[in-house]
Structure 1
């Protein structure tokens, strides 16, 4: 999952503030008419001894000061309060018995106070909704029920352990806001439009035309998988567009050659975010650079070394990003692992069983699967006798790619002005671009079908609607995944995990422990961008304070600093890649028409072995002097040995 890097969106995902969650407040006593106005917003839930925030707002008052006190009168925070504005009081911690809090302001016009109360629980409570939902989904494979149970559990805690009120909170506090969010709505509409385009293409014979055109080249399962891999690497500019275009385009080809839907979903998922993360020009690069810039700025302000502070403040965040790419061990090794799986035609774990089932005539998906797209009963098959022309599929897909790229360029140019290409792409709003691209693809697909008299306008619109209907289950699961992500935001899951995993470390261990922390946080929250946003401003000053940036000011050091930055990015991708509640994982299942939990279960062993190799040779090895290229050679060697000695051959034919 990813988010736009604006402040309000970040706050909704739970870093910097629980402050936007609805507070439980008690009215203050009546005050004099000239008393200053005060309103306070606080967290929906307070975790014992875990940092949280309050937002104070005042509209009048002169020389105002605020104070926050516990129920026992202990002062938790105080400071100056700007007039007619709001102040975020961060870093508050409340132990057992400290609630309710009293917030008071004093000014030349008098005093005002508000009492803030909220349910309080131990920090580990915040882990239960995502972990239980994920465990239930893995065990019972009923992902909708499992996700909703996790959402209800979050509502149960927020409602003060009232089960019926928790059911209401599940809908009004989590599900409805997730649907109302502009970015989430953009993803749903983009997915619907792209699926609608596929519906028109299928009805007009374009999909079968692609299959027939590629048949002479993709004559074997290996070649079909290789074509899917190259397409995934080629669409490097956006992970959402990558996932949906590649999965929908190549599914008929891999089905024809009896490649399991689970394998297709793995190929799609493993060439989406990993590629976009390391691309110079993508919808991610601007966000990543902005976080690196913030981390360097904070570190420069905190370090006592003037020379180092000056070097950190003057450093180009884009140059630091480029320097971090060789240390992005998980994304790069994940791509290499896909190539090894394809060339060796070996698999292990649940994936081997899925591939054997598909190749031996047992079906490309498991009997009884809950397909994210019901490709068997969508009514999208082309009528008999119509011409099967490959360009009726290729042109709309090419249109989507071109319009998205142009949209990113022109939208970024209007936002950033004259700038480098990567700065232009980084400043663009990717949600606008993918909407423009998917709409253009729909219009082109309909125009091709009707102008060639393959379909009437009514038949084309029927195919358009059938494509949207086919995605219904995917839309439900995607919405529930977002809602569960909002649960983790309001329960401060990320803050709790970050706090318990923090501590005094040897600088050489910071990269690997950072990777592990980012992986856990992104797995439990289902979002890579929010994880990056939480950890990068913490990790960069930490590694600088521990001496990991020694030599950075002279250009003769700083490898641990760069490696730690890479560890945040890579760990966020790993957790998001594996998490059943990640939207990119859900979209991969949707695009591949695969049972979502079957995709998660079959992909997880591959992701885990790649992560283990990345941690051992990459983040640990390079921290102790191993050159990155040697780490990759050793890593690929271990992965190849795993495929040779653990993996088992998959039959080429039934």
Structure 2
């Protein structure tokens, strides 16, 4: 009797196992209809026959025989719906049916537009992003499920879009990297390392101007990754610029506008792999182009007016000591009152540090190397990690490839997320060991500082997750397709690069993603540019000139839109690293970005598309920026260490 119960359980287990086994042998076809469709945008019906590719099947789509190209029993039926349609798929007498009601494409612009307008009007970005996601989710579900879609849209907001934003290894890597950077900054602030760096830089940053110049130099020097650039430069230079009464808005602008532009055009960066892969996807669709991917990228750099002019414009602002627009107000406030942040920022600052928690510990000493060594480890460790994860001995030993191209290819193929995580974690461990071993703080105090550093990142991480969720909404609703179709039809070859630049800027502004914009527009605009040039009867060299200009305009426009967008992750990170109120950063940076963008279009992109050498356009564009500053810029007081604040 004592074995009866265990025998019974064994019997039940074997019975369930046999049912599962038999169920697996009874394979039936599977049809997955798209949950959302958009008018005029291709989607697909996924078919899984659950049979060998050699198996016999009879497939009917909407009542007509359909010959599906099958690989391992799986295939897709393309759709491009114009109106509400009942789709039927019949496979071996099994019928699958779905009523699809496509969403008008013009609806796709409203979720990002709503989020951007609410953020700019009310100066509050979290609620703006939540409402943008909710509005988009409701639209999608109302068209597929009727009025119940309002409830379903509310549920999809969190279980699909916000959860999906977190359930991405790249996004989680950025979150972890940001948290670790926050912890490092907290530790080196408490142990006196940050004060030591300030003391060392102070002899060079003896005025407001030289403090900004030091920030610009450091921003250009850390060229290999925009995330590392933003977080390291912003956190390192903030005490220096605060001391010289440089506004947080100006610091955030310098940090943000050196990070992406230099990473976008340098030969050895974490951007290069993505850029080359996107360009390759566009070249693959072109016939008659006798040029490789890397050669196309290199040739296009001479037309990358916006990134180049942005770096020069910041340098001119600093040297001329002039500002205009909202930035002038911020700078005058900081110089006159010492309030480096706006009143709203002081009251409610994203990622603001409690002065008690981040002031030097009781036993701490001002030692610059306690901050310099961890920061050095991040920089060198990231480069080493990029080389390690992207290493390819066949490329390195290929004598026909130049050294710069070898390095660009290797780093372009690297896993930048792993490199950043490895280097930042090593830096955190080293900073903890240095702090405890010098008895600047005990282990408990050091770990508490680490946790405090994590906490400072919470607000920014929330905004990042919401921005990624909104990006998913814009992807499902095909916002980029709407903007592209709206602006890129029926144009002359010479105006195509300017149109491409504007489209890329609008897409990046609406989606908050420069990489996403490049992924969408490169495969679309590159073949279109080549085709338009050929149809217009241009010769090969003239077509190549327009083509390279279009390639550069996609990249440059993506960076411009990313700079202006309040839902961009790099814009958010720049606000975080500089402890600047996010909307204050957006409002002060946008006029400068649009100014440089306008000069890039009218003195760079359009003339070069008409045949003027880019090497002639660039000096004239720089001269135009100088004149704008001379005419509209106003002097900002250049405080020095001798001034009594």
Q: Same-fold call, TM > 0.5?
A: yes
1:199 — aligned with what?
186
* Rounded Cα–Cα distance in structure 1 between residues aligned with 2:393 and 2:181: 26
Residue 81 of structure 1 pairs with residue 63 of structure 2? no
- Structure 2 segments unaligned to the other structure (5+ residues): 1-24, 398-405, 640-644
* Rounded Cα–Cα distance in structure 2 between residues aligned with 1:396 and 1:484: 35
For the 8 Å contact 1:259–1:358, the answer to whether it is kept is yes
Larger deviation, residues 493-502 vs 393-402? 493-502
Greater Rg, structure 1 or structure 2? 2
For the 8 Å contact 1:550–1:557, the answer to whether it is kept is no
Quick one: structure 1 residues 230 and 38, their matched pair in 2 at CA, closer, same or farther if it must change by over 3 Å?
A: same
Q: 1:368 aligns with which of 322, 344, 349?
A: 344
State the 1:328 CA deviation: 0.6
* Rounded Cα–Cα distance in structure 2 between residues aligned with 1:103 and 1:415: 50
2:260 — aligned with what?
273
Q: 2:411 aligns with which of 425, 430, 444?
A: 425
* Rounded Cα–Cα distance in structure 2 between residues aligned with 1:627 and 1:368: 47
Deviations, residues 435-460 of structure 1 (Å, cap 9, x unaligned):
00110110111111111111111111
2:126 — aligned with what?
144
Q: 1:130 aligns with which of 109, 112, 115?
A: 112
State the 1:63 CA deviation: 6.2
Residue 379 of structure 1 pairs with residue 367 of structure 2? no
* Rounded Cα–Cα distance in structure 2 between residues aligned with 1:67 and 1:355: 69
Quick one: structure 1 residues 518 and 89, their matched pair in 2 at CA, closer, same or farther if it must change by over 3 Å?
A: farther
1:28 — aligned with what?
none
State the 1:550 CA deviation: 9.8
Q: 1:157 aligns with which of 129, 139, 144?
A: 139
For the 8 Å contact 1:221–1:257, the answer to whether it is kept is yes
State the 1:66 CA deviation: 5.6
Q: 1:37 aligns with which of 15, 25, 29?
A: 29
* Rounded Cα–Cα distance in structure 1 between residues aligned with 2:356 and 2:68: 62
2:274 — aligned with what?
287
Q: 1:495 aligns with which of 481, 500, 509?
A: 481
For the 8 Å contact 2:224–2:269, the answer to whether it is kept is yes
More helix as a share of residues? 2
Quick one: structure 1 residues 628 and 551, their matched pair in 2 at CA, closer, same or farther if it must change by over 3 Å?
A: farther
Deviations, residues 14-39 of structure 1 (Å, cap 9, x unaligned):
xxxxxxxxxxxxxxxxxxx9996132
For the 8 Å contact 1:104–1:112, the answer to whether it is kept is yes
TM-score (norm 2): 0.88
State the 1:372 CA deviation: 2.1
Q: 1:216-255 counterparts in 2 under 5 A?
A: 216-255=203-242
* Rounded Cα–Cα distance in structure 1 between residues aligned with 2:231 and 2:318: 21
1:25 — aligned with what?
none
Deviations, residues 279-303 of structure 1 (Å, cap 9, x unaligned):
1011111111122122112112xxx
For the 8 Å contact 2:363–2:440, the answer to whether it is kept is no
Q: 1:340 aligns with which of 316, 338, 360?
A: 316
For the 8 Å contact 2:381–2:419, the answer to whether it is kept is yes
SS of residue paired to 2:45 = strand
For the 8 Å contact 1:211–1:252, the answer to whether it is kept is yes
Q: 2:465 aligns with which of 476, 479, 484?
A: 479
* Rounded Cα–Cα distance in structure 2 between residues aligned with 1:282 and 1:645: 37
For the 8 Å contact 2:560–2:593, the answer to whether it is kept is yes
SS of residue paired to 1:588 = helix
Larger deviation, residues 290-299 vs 325-334? 290-299
For the 8 Å contact 2:245–2:338, the answer to whether it is kept is no
Q: 1:603 aligns with which of 581, 585, 589?
A: 589
1:170 — aligned with what?
157
2:334 — aligned with what?
358
1:303 — aligned with what?
none
State the 1:41 CA deviation: 4.1
State the 1:114 CA deviation: 2.6
* Rounded Cα–Cα distance in structure 2 between residues aligned with 1:295 and 1:131: 29
SS of residue paired to 1:547 = helix
- Root-mean-square deviation (CA), in Å? 2.3
Q: 1:434-449 counterparts in 2 under 5 A?
A: 434-449=420-435
Quick one: structure 1 residues 113 and 236, their matched pair in 2 at CA, closer, same or farther if it must change by over 3 Å?
A: farther
SS of residue paired to 1:120 = coil
State the 1:498 CA deviation: 2.1
For the 8 Å contact 1:548–1:559, the answer to whether it is kept is no
State the 1:576 CA deviation: 1.4
SS of residue paired to 2:637 = coil
TM-score (norm 1): 0.87
* Rounded Cα–Cα distance in structure 1 between residues aligned with 2:607 and 2:198: 45
Number of residues paired by the alignment?
A: 599
Q: 1:570 aligns with which of 546, 556, 571?
A: 556
SS of residue paired to 2:286 = helix
* Rounded Cα–Cα distance in structure 1 between residues aligned with 2:423 and 2:27: 55
Q: 1:47 aligns with which of 9, 18, 38?
A: 38
